[in-house]
Amino acid sequence: MGADLKGKVAVVTGSSRGVGKGIALSLGEAGATVYVVGRTDATHKATVPLTGTVEDTVNEVTQMGGIGIAARADLRDDSQTEALFQRVSDEQGRLDILVNSAWAGYEGLHDMSDFPFNQPFWERRLSYWDDNLFSTRAAYIASALAARIMVKQESGLIVNISNNVDKRQEGDRNAAYFNSKNSLHLLTADLADELRGNHVTVVSLWPGLVRTEGIMLHEKYMDLSNSESAQFTGRAVAALAVDPDVLSKSGRSWWVSDLANEYGFTDIDGKVYVPTWKP
């Protein structure tokens, strides 16, 4: 039997599509109330050539047994982020889980404007830095606002979706991307240190190759035989959320596949996928 999150409240940023959507679905599968946060809704078009709106995710979360709530917000605007968490506090009176999954670093890959992916930093558009570092800033702001709720209730889980950039392949070069991921890992450790005394856990998760809408745009160029669904990462979040000893994991980064083996969950096809680049 999977995790039971009935009565728990979650905010998942970047969940109109991609890994964020998969996490929202898995939390819904566990019975949680999920605020689905993204920029794309029925009246705001996507900035990338990908399907998915906050309403779409909300409908699927509810179909899976949770309570989905659409919360359209652009996290580049702090006032919208503040309004989001004030709404959660006003409507629910609590917040148990925050997942920081909003990410803009791949947008130029989706519309082909940032190819090739490994071009030298001096040949890239200068705004590429802002797109990549956006995720760290968004995670910091959202975590600060979530912490104001979680500290009062002396409990909570904050999850940052990231990637392991310690073991790079020969020829890998992407200064903005690597700085973004490394800064997010440092942020995770620093926030965890400050929040540990208030019984709030902060971790980073490392998925493998995930079959997001963006990846599937380029599937003919990729080997997807060892790829995973976005819900696999979501099941890791759900498992962490019900672990009574989760605070012992705070401040660290965890492979989703390692948590699957520890907690005994699988992907939606019943398998556990281990990334080929995992050391």
CATH number at residue 151: 3.40.50.720
The whole domain housing 136 covers 9-263
pLDDT of residue 173: 81
Whether 245 is covered by a domain: the verdict is: yes
Using the predicted structure, report yes or no on whether residue 108 has a pLDDT greater than 60. no
The number of distinct structural domains making up the chain is 1
Whether 208 is covered by a domain: the verdict is: yes
Share of the chain above pLDDT 70, in %: 89
Catalytic sites, residue numbers: 177
Of 67 and 41, the one with more pLDDT:
67
8-17, 115-124, 244-253, 258-267: segment of lowest average pLDDT:
115-124
Contacts (Cβ under 8 Å, ≥6 apart) of 5: 27, 30, 31, 32, 66, 96, 97, 238, 241, 242
Using the predicted structure, report yes or no on whether residue 144 has a pLDDT greater than 80. yes
Using the predicted structure, report yes or no on whether residue 195 has a pLDDT greater than 90. yes
Could you tell me the pTM of the whole model? Answer: 0.92
Question: What 3-state DSSP class applies to 77?
Answer: coil
Whether 272 is covered by a domain: the verdict is: no
Report how far residue 233's alpha carbon sits from residue 236's, in angstroms, rounded to the nearest whole number.
5
Of 21 and 173, the one with more pLDDT:
21
DSSP letter assigned to residue 12: E
Whether 214 is covered by a domain: the verdict is: yes
Using the predicted structure, report yes or no on whether residue 139 has a pLDDT greater than 90. yes
Whether 276 is covered by a domain: the verdict is: no
pLDDT of residue 122: 94
pLDDT of residue 211: 87
**Facing residues of 36 across strands?**
12, 70
pLDDT of residue 67: 98
Give, in order, the Cα–Cα distances in Å from 17 to each of 12, 39, 57, 74, 120: 11, 10, 8, 15, 29
Task: Label residue 52 by pLDDT band (50, 70, 90).
Answer: confident
Tally of CB atoms within 10 A around 66: 25
Whether 187 is covered by a domain: the verdict is: yes
Whether 278 is covered by a domain: the verdict is: no
Using the predicted structure, report yes or no on whether residue 269 has a pLDDT greater than 90. yes
